Amino acid sequence: MTKPIVRFSIVFQSLGWILLFIFIVIIWNYRLCSDVTHFYNNDNDCQQSLNESDGFICESNYLWNKRKYIYQTQEKENLIRRPNSYYFASNWEPNFHCSHAERIGAMGDGGKWICDLFRMKSQNNCLIYSAGSSGDFSFEIHMKKVLPHCEIHTFDKNLYLCPTNTCIFHQIMFGTDIQLNNSETWSTIIQKLSHTHRFIDVLKIDIEGGEYSFLPQIFNSIKNIWPRQILVELHPINVTIIEGIFDLMRKNNYVIFNKENNVDGGPYFFEYGFLKLNPQFFLHSSSKT
């Protein structure tokens, strides 16, 4: 009877050591993962990102400085002009990554990518402008579904009716005040709607080439009515004019977070998403580590 007892004791001790080893490995991995998670997602240490995104993004300094490094690297490439008969195919790539970008609206033409939509859910005074609907309200309907508290205003030169409880429609064409067909400037429209003291979260633009005269208007207005996000379809035009628009966006602290070919227009039409950041984002140097 002694030998079986001895064998059992040895097996029991071996099993104990194995269990102890497994326990140590589990604890070690748990602590390691906790440290890594804290390292990447320490929202308690996000003052830098909050400041440099004007309160929009809260993430660890490590991740934020990674974003800055990627921006600086890609921006050098963007400043190189690459001749191509399909201009957008080889110029102006995204230089900023939105971790939770979402597509809003119809698939294909009419839909837009929005940067980190979930961050807007906690905003009580959300305001969205949609310029140029052509009677397609899929963007507004989807936006109202995911952000029911947002106030949405839609503008078009032709008369359409917004779906019930979705948006407020205005038969207005963004222009210079001296054009015909109910044309009014960006500043005039905002004043008439009493939005001069509101913050515009998203501006969607689909005005069939009119974006090249409309966008400069925005930056000739007071800064507090510049939209945080500008989602625009860019159409083919003189290359000098196109480059002027991108330079204008850069100078006014907008980064590119999305670029998408609108296949309905062939290789000439591209959708772009721009996000406004604080000037500090562009002034502070950062390292890749």
Neighbours of 273 (CB within 10 A): 25
Residues 12 and 35: their CA atoms lie apart, in Å, by 35
List, for residues 137-163, the tens digit of each pLDDT value: 999 999 999 999 999 999 999 999 999
Specify the amino acid at residue 81.
R
Higher pLDDT, 210 or 144: 144
Classify 49 in phi/psi space as left (phi over 0), alpha (psi -120 to 50) or beta: alpha
List, for residues 26-51, the tens digit of each pLDDT value: 676 555 444 444 444 455 689 999 99
At residue 283, does pLDDT exceed 70? yes
Check residue 154 and report its DSSP letter: E
**pLDDT at residue 178 in the model:** 52
Higher pLDDT, 175 or 131: 131
List, for residues 216-256, the tens digit of each pLDDT value: 999 988 888 899 999 999 988 888 999 999 999 999 999 99
Residues 112 and 76: their CA atoms lie apart, in Å, by 26
Of the ranges 50-59, 84-93, 123-132, 279-288, which one carries the lowest mean pLDDT score? 279-288
**pLDDT at residue 3 in the model:** 56
Cα–Cα nearest to 151, from 112, 199, 186, 105: 199
Return the SS3 of 272: strand
Give 95's contacts (C-beta < 8 A, 6+ positions apart).
70, 71, 74, 75, 78, 255, 256
**pLDDT at residue 30 in the model:** 53
Residues 49 and 59: their CA atoms lie apart, in Å, by 6
The pTM of the whole model exceeds 0.85: no
Residues 270 and 267: their CA atoms lie apart, in Å, by 8
Distances (CA, A) of 117 to 126, 201, 210, 270: 11, 10, 27, 21
Residues 120 and 114: their CA atoms lie apart, in Å, by 10
Residues 200 and 129: their CA atoms lie apart, in Å, by 7
List, for residues 49-106, the tens digit of each pLDDT value: 999 999 999 999 999 999 999 999 999 999 998 887 788 888 999 999 999 999 998 7
Neighbours of 211 (CB within 10 A): 22
Cα–Cα nearest to 166, from 189, 184, 141: 141
